[in-house]
Structure 1
Amino acid sequence: MFFIGVFGIQNKQKEIKDLNDVPCRNCDKGSGGKLIKTFNFFHFFFIPIFKWNEKYYVICSGCGSLYEIPQEKGKGIERGDNIDISYWDLRPVETGHTYSAHNICGHCGKAVEADYEYCPYCGTKIRS
């Protein structure tokens, strides 16, 4: 979080929705998953003014693998549209790693081990 008087820039991660029948590229179970959104926002007195760097991720319920999905599909699901996620929409964030042992950096979107306080890719503070 970065403050300038009453203004600030903050990273946020938000769980959007539980999904059914997501075809995992790792476990091939298609058991479903969770849609996660990460973004940066500028705020005035803790009221968000505008957002940028929005990214959407799916976490497989079966094995915990983490995948980035296209932004337009993530926004559509968040609006409530009936959008299917295919095997080809899932881009692995880090092969072989699971979400349970990792956090997602809100600044660069990379998966970072849960015990890291700062992102090793961009240097942004992850935990307070």
Structure 2
Amino acid sequence: MIFIGGIAQGQKDLGFLQTLICKKCGRYGSVSVFMIYTYFSFFFIPLFKWGKKYYAVSSCCQTTFSIPHEIGKSIERGENVTLREDDLEIVGMEQNYNTYCPDCGFLLSPEYTYCPKCGKKL
């Protein structure tokens, strides 16, 4: 019997778009929200998801912001949510200094010169 399964990281665009002033560059633009998660698949069918994290990307300077889990969950359920400046935290500015890809939000190691998920040059 052959067993085909594995664990991988997935990304889902939540279809949320809001116009606001960017917290990083100060320009007027929009943010789109997406979710990153880890999943287990069996015969290429995703069965379990865990480790959901929610991010927003600005259209003006392509900055990635993390958003609180509760707000991300509300957006995922399709509830009417308005993001405030206090809800957006620039990724990479927190104390643990994690680096994320500016395009896809994938967690990067310091030695990477290209994102292993989307291939963007860093």
TM category, shorter: 0.7 to 0.9
**Superposition TM-score, scaled by structure 1 size:** 0.71
Q: Which residue of 1 aligns with 2:3?
A: 5
Which whole-Å CA distance do the structure 2 matches of 1:111 and 1:68 have between them?
18
Distance change >3 Å, CA 15–CA 111, structure 1 → 2? farther
Which whole-Å CA distance do the structure 2 matches of 1:15 and 1:111 have between them?
24
Whether contact under 8 Å (2:101, 2:115) holds in the other structure is no
- CA shift for structure 1 position 32: 1.1
For 1:71, which of 69, 78, 82 is the aligned residue?
A: 69
Any idea what the Cα deviations from partners look like across 1:1-23, whole Å, max 9, x if unmatched? xxx93221111122222412244
Whether contact under 8 Å (1:68, 1:92) holds in the other structure is yes
Distance change >3 Å, CA 68–CA 111, structure 1 → 2? farther
Structure 1 stretches of 5 or more lacking a match?
118-125
Whether contact under 8 Å (2:9, 2:39) holds in the other structure is yes
Q: Which residue of 2 aligns with 1:48?
A: 46
Please report the RMSD computed on the Cα atoms of aligned residues, expressed in angstroms.
Answer: 2.8
- CA shift for structure 1 position 56: 0.7
SS at match of 1:28: coil
- CA shift for structure 1 position 34: 1.3
Bigger Cα displacement from structure 2, 51-60 vs 13-22: 13-22
- CA shift for structure 1 position 127: 6.0
Which whole-Å CA distance do the structure 1 matches of 2:108 and 2:115 have between them?
12
Which whole-Å CA distance do the structure 2 matches of 1:111 and 1:70 have between them?
23
Which whole-Å CA distance do the structure 2 matches of 1:51 and 1:22 have between them?
31
**Superposition TM-score, scaled by structure 2 size:** 0.74
